[in-house]
Structure 1
Amino acid sequence: MPQVRIIAKNFMDMVASFTSHETRQSLSKRIHLRSHSQKYVVQILFFDGPVSDKLLEQWVLDDGVTKHRVAIDRLIQLRIFIEVTDKKRESSYKLNQTFQANLQKHLTNGGVLPRETMAATVKLPSSEDLDTYALEQWECFLLLLISSGQAEKTN
């Protein structure tokens, strides 16, 4: 079977074309969504089940139908929304479980990402060490400015 190569015109198309589940999952943690997409994600973030397409359409003003469709399609392409069809062939959407769990954790932890534990052998610099280092860097920067100014005058 020949492989089809998808040429992405932008970052979102590139992410949507990935086939590796782990790659999509790791990138979905870092994707920034547009306002309509953000609105839908936040509004159904704590829903346990799928949300019907009709309910989502009720949240949209008449002049925003096109943006609504684009946002839903983009969320499906990025696998943030999973489309579910019921017995009546009506579409519903639910959030990707990994994405939903990670975003819920992030929001409930006050926007602070959990940190990895540091090895006990790592010695953190003292305040004085940091001040000394910052002063050295500042002096190096000033010397660079002075020397580059002299180089311009001699040329």
Structure 2
Amino acid sequence: MPQVMIIAKNFMDMVASLPAMKLDNLYDNFYICEAVLRSLPLLAKKYVLQLIYIEEPTSAKEFKEWLLPEGFSKHRVAIDRLIQLRVFIETTDRKNQTSYRLNPKFQGNLQTYLKHGVVPRESMSSSITVRLPTSEELDAYALEQWEVMHCILMLSC
């Protein structure tokens, strides 16, 4: 159970305060899953992405092994937020050891996103006159952006 109670001050706090059944119904929608992922603290995002293709529960002990000693407070905040949003489902085994696994609906929608890039949308109307870039133009733009980022990181420009 989360150790920190949240008082709804913003949209994500309000989402976290929803009953479990309503949250699970929200996770039927890919866009909600994406919004929740984007709203998570950085360490929580890292945990979600590390477990995106893992079906079995991961023990709390294993999570602690991933931490540096000074990261425990951020870890606790991340785990609490993931549980409150039902992104993580917490289980306790016979030995009273806690484990976490991703919410199956949330996990499935994010896996689809990672496999296909975007969820298929409605087809565009033929009345739209904006020309979409070609694959080659997108590749050229991506390469240019990559080189700019590399230049900035290496400070060699």
Matched, 1:112 2:95: no
What per-residue deviation string (whole Å, max 9, x for no partner) do you get for residues 96-148 of structure 1? 00000000010011x22222357xxxx60375xx59xxxxxxxxxxxxxxxxx
Q: TM-score with structure 2 length normalisation?
A: 0.67
Asked if 2 retains the 8 angstrom alpha-carbon contact of 1:18 and 1:24, the reply is no
| C-alpha RMSD of matched pairs (Å) | 2.3
Of structures 1 and 2, the one with the larger relative CO (CA 8 A, separation 6+) is 2
In 2: Cα distance, 1:89 partner to 1:30 partner:
33
Deviation at 1:25, TM superposition (A): 4.9
Asked if 1 retains the 8 angstrom alpha-carbon contact of 2:33 and 2:109, the reply is no
Q: Which has the larger radius of gyration?
A: 1
Q: Show structure 2 runs of 5+ residues with no match.
A: 1-5, 132-157
5 Å-filtered alignment, 1:40-119, equals 40-109=47-116, 111-116=117-122
| Aligned counterpart, 1:125 | 127
Asked if 1 retains the 8 angstrom alpha-carbon contact of 2:91 and 2:99, the reply is yes
3-state SS of 2:35 partner = coil
In 1: Cα distance, 2:16 partner to 2:107 partner:
18
Asked if 2 retains the 8 angstrom alpha-carbon contact of 1:53 and 1:92, the reply is yes
Equivalenced residues, count: 119
Q: TM-score with structure 1 length normalisation?
A: 0.68
| Aligned counterpart, 2:14 | 14
What per-residue deviation string (whole Å, max 9, x for no partner) do you get for residues 29-77 of structure 1? 4222221001100111111110000001111110010000000000000
Asked if 1 retains the 8 angstrom alpha-carbon contact of 2:43 and 2:74, the reply is yes
In 2: Cα distance, 1:126 partner to 1:14 partner:
37
Cα pair distance change 1:89/1:11, threshold 3 Å? same
Cα pair distance change 1:80/1:10, threshold 3 Å? same
The AA in structure 1 aligned to 2:49 is V
Identical aligned residues as a percent: 49
